[in-house]
Structure 1
Amino acid sequence: MKNSRRDFIKTTALASAAITIPTYGFSIINKPSLSKQIIGHGDFKYRVHQQWGNLNPENTPVKNCHEMVMDSKGRLIMVTDEVKNNIIVYDKSGKLLSSWTHNMKSAHGLTLFKEGEDDVLFITEPLTGKIIKTTIDGKVIMELPNPKEIGVYDKDNPRERYKPTETAIAPNGDIYVADGYGSDWVLQFNSNGEFIRKFGGKGFNDDQLSNAHGVAIDDRDPNNITLLCTSRKHNAFKRFTLDGKYLETIYLPGAFVCRPVIDGENLYSGVCWSRLKYLEQTPDSGFVTILDKKNKVVSNPGGTAPKYKKGKLKMMVQDTPLFNHCHDVCVDEDKNLYVCQWNANKSYPIKLERV
């Protein structure tokens, strides 16, 4: 039934007018307006629900909608750097369920981990170097140590900055921290917050990173679980073993990718910028990119169709002026996408309905 519905929509979709930046609708009850435009490629095409997550900015404001995860109850949990509500919880219709805050001025990374029967969250704040583990409703369970305070970084060296942007949690509970706005190390802690090792670091060798913005556990092969690290300025994801040994680079020319998001056999990522004029990082040029189980790009919603020549991926750039700077993608059980943006005029998330 689902495939026939997709086929029907594909064959009957009409071209739409140019998409504009979403307005800040004050209603959280009315159904969001629908766009007739379909974006994406191949089997990964989407209808845009541009006003899906709009809330009343007087009561529930946002600055940057950094990241979103879905908990075991199907609620969509988003982190923002608005101190009035660092966390906003939606249902799938875009209705506000709740919000809470820890007064973080730069709340950035949001990771969900299933600990026994309970969902827990890990929140990173680059400006303070703070990383907290909380319950789903915000109670702090643990705070990770700052590497400058435990001798992992040189406390007296101002060049060795610590500005963490993301965490990933291994099946055994080990915590990986991407120091994406600092020194580009990936730091590994055990589940109790005790330091194990660091690897990566800023540079241009295969095993080094440049803007290690995101990190994720890649468990698509359960017999070979690895770590994917963003190297955004390299337009790449780099794969490491769980003990920090470099394995490979997934090169995504033109795409300044944010964190990798694993769902089923696929890998999704927001592209914060693409290379447009003179092959430079261009403002307001974001899109979403989707890779298959072989790490081949199969769709770029909002971007140009992926093209390979002699096995090598060609440059990818923005095609549809829908997004400003895509910062994260959340995938629900129906394979719909929820796109969070940075530096997008304080806009709320956009839903992409799979068709």
Structure 2
Amino acid sequence: MSDHWLHRRDFLYQSLLSGACALGADQLIASENKLPVLGQGKFQYRPVAGWGVLDEKTPVKNCSAMVVDSKGRIFLLTDETTNNVIVYNKEGQLLKKWGTRFPGAHGLEIVNEGHREVLFITDLNLHRVFKTTLDGEILMELTYPQSTGKYASEKEYRPAWTLHLPNGDFFVLDGYGKDYIMRYNREGKLLHYFGGPEGGIAHWGPHGGIIDSRGPGEPELVIAMSDQQTIKRLTLDGKLIQEISLPGSNPRMIQIVGDYMFVPHLADNWPKDRQSKGYISVLDRDYRIVSNIGGTAPQYVDGKLQPMHQQGGFFRHPHDLVVAADGAIYVPQFASGNTYPVKLAPMSST
């Protein structure tokens, strides 16, 4: 595998937000008696008031995903076709914006190919995966995987996210369609597929996730199974390693930070209660939750995790997150009243 291919969720974000906490100090001091402290133990955070809020010239609808490039610029994906991609600096100020053709913009990843960084965008409404430059030039467009024989038409295919290997291969999670997981090479050739109902992947399941390369063995797919309230660990060819139950959750994405995983939950009782709200869980290497940011403290009885709930009402529906090198967390929210992303500053070093 080439070392030139790096996935943004495995980056060491050296260049990102080195002075972010100092920048927001005045806001934090002025608001510290009003803004809540979220989380437990060493994973406690306070929101930074006003970060990333723009004017009516740069609107958002659903804010679905965020990534950071090697220069520390923060890319937000929204399904607002006035400006699908909004690029912030670390102070939360607008640098540029682009994109008018992604009405179902949903998943976003950034990959370093050695000589350049590129974006992968999934669109639920267009039933496609797009590879673009950081300025929006489309480099590759993937339609539905007709050769699998699993799809009568492209309308059955609604890709949620992409996950990337160091050699350029990538997986597409059809989390809003028929729940298959497809593996492609860097040129976009379909190599393999698995999952779906016959593969033990329930509907409204494979929404997002990460490739975990921390172990001594082969890398694993770790899949956020959204409405199933579970995380699945799979081999790269789809064999089940472990299923982790997370009652009271709705995991949408995963980021690895050292020995921990950060998981945004859309809500604590979704889809039964569309008014229910979400939170963020922090899991250790054993997949035990050590903090719920914006949620109730995790409780285990005889080793079994008890149902979790949002607490305090700060979040609406977290859909993705970026954790910076200084511990700050950036959270885009879906179905949340056209709100901009939020920033959380750590109360202490994690």
Query: CA contact under 8 A between 2:127 and 2:143: conserved in structure 1?
Result: no
Note if 1:260 corresponds to 2:254: yes
Relative to the length of structure 2, the TM-score reads 0.85
Query: CA contact under 8 A between 2:103 and 2:126: conserved in structure 1?
Result: no
In structure 2, give the amino acid aligned to 1:303.
Answer: G
Question: Unaligned 5+ residue runs, structure 2?
Answer: 1-25
Relative to the length of structure 1, the TM-score reads 0.84
Aligned to 1:219: 213
In structure 2, give the amino acid aligned to 1:286.
Answer: G
Aligned to 1:13: none
Aligned to 2:19: none
Partner SS, residue 233 of structure 1: helix
The C-alpha deviation readout for 1:4-45, integer Å capped at 9, x for no partner, is: xxxxxxxxxxxxxxxxxxxxxxxxxx9687444211111100
Distance 2:224 2:68 in 1: 21
Aligned to 1:169: 164
Task: Indicate which of 106, 113, 116 corresponds to 1:115.
Answer: 113
Question: Unaligned 5+ residue runs, structure 1?
Answer: 1-29
Aligned to 1:47: 46
Task: Indicate which of 303, 313, 317 corresponds to 1:325.
Answer: 317
Aligned to 2:238: 244
The C-alpha deviation readout for 1:60-117, integer Å capped at 9, x for no partner, is: 0000110101111111111000001110111121111111104211100001111114
In structure 2, give the amino acid aligned to 1:191.
Answer: R
Partner SS, residue 197 of structure 1: strand
Partner SS, residue 77 of structure 1: strand
Q: CA deviation at 1:118?
A: 2.0
Change (3 A) 1:54 1:128: same
Change (3 A) 1:324 1:346: same
Distance 1:348 1:338 in 2: 11
Q: CA deviation at 1:183?
A: 0.5
Partner SS, residue 266 of structure 2: strand
Note if 1:305 corresponds to 2:294: no
Aligned to 2:328: 336
Change (3 A) 1:303 1:78: same
Distance 1:255 1:350 in 2: 20
Distance 2:86 2:31 in 1: 23
In structure 2, give the amino acid aligned to 1:302.
Answer: G
- Equivalences for 1:203-214 in 2 at 5 Å? 207-211=200-204, 212-214=206-208
Change (3 A) 1:292 1:285: same
Q: CA deviation at 1:347?
A: 0.6
Query: CA contact under 8 A between 1:131 and 1:144: conserved in structure 2?
Result: yes
Query: CA contact under 8 A between 1:35 and 1:48: conserved in structure 2?
Result: no
Q: CA deviation at 1:228?
A: 1.2
Range 161-170 or range 211-220, more displaced: 211-220
Query: CA contact under 8 A between 1:122 and 1:133: conserved in structure 2?
Result: yes
Query: CA contact under 8 A between 1:132 and 1:142: conserved in structure 2?
Result: yes
Task: Indicate which of 124, 130, 133 corresponds to 2:131.
Answer: 133
The C-alpha deviation readout for 1:290-342, integer Å capped at 9, x for no partner, is: 11122111111110001111111111111111111111111111111011101
Q: CA deviation at 1:282?
A: 4.5
User: How large is the Cα RMSD of the aligned pairs?
Assistant: 2.1
Query: CA contact under 8 A between 1:88 and 1:100: conserved in structure 2?
Result: yes
Percent of matched pairs sharing the same residue: 39
Aligned to 1:348: 340
